[in-house]
Chains A and B, each alone.
Chain A
Amino acid sequence: DQQVKQNSPSLRVQEGRISILNCDYTNSMFDYFLWYKKYPAEGPTFLISISSIKDKNEDGRFTVFLNKSAKHLSLHIVPSQPGDSAVYFCAAGGAGGGADGLTFGKGTHLIIQP
């Protein structure tokens, strides 16, 4: 039961260009969506989030877009930098209310090429 799907296991982008990571979800009850970044041998690190009542949230080089009708969100990184190379997890929460757990996608490995 994959409620959160990241269909691209990996993505290669040239340094300086835009990276677009995509995520789809099936549960319309999710209240908020997040992107986490993970380097090898480290835990996930929170990157950016968006509430279900918004369609865009921007933080520096990172922008998350939410299309509720399509149950789709995306993370844009512009310009991409070598340090952005990592695994990016899409996550969603709030469907159960309270301290329910986040549902993660399988991740997309972003590789920034010089």
Chain B
Amino acid sequence: QQQVKQSPQSLIVQKGGISIINCAYENTAFDYFPWYQQFPGKGPALLIAIRPDVSEKKEGRFTISFNKSAKQFSLHIMDSQPGDSATYFCAASMGSGANNLFFGTGTRLTVIP
């Protein structure tokens, strides 16, 4: 059973546009929600993370929006660039990230010039 559901599976965005990836979870014990970026042949790299006591977190062009009541969170990439083309994974964990991560199935983002 997939603990974290992610959509869309793939996304094509024009350079300068906004990329939006959505995730949903069921387990209310989750208290740490990171987003990872992965390039082919590389390990995932942390992009940004949020805890459920805030509804939004912004770091540069990346923003997480978090809706605790709906059990949903999303990643927004503003001013998308070709270098952002990668696979993005949302994840969730209990114990403030100390425990294992449950990952979504990933979104392959392609930013076209």
Chains A and B come from one and the same complex: no
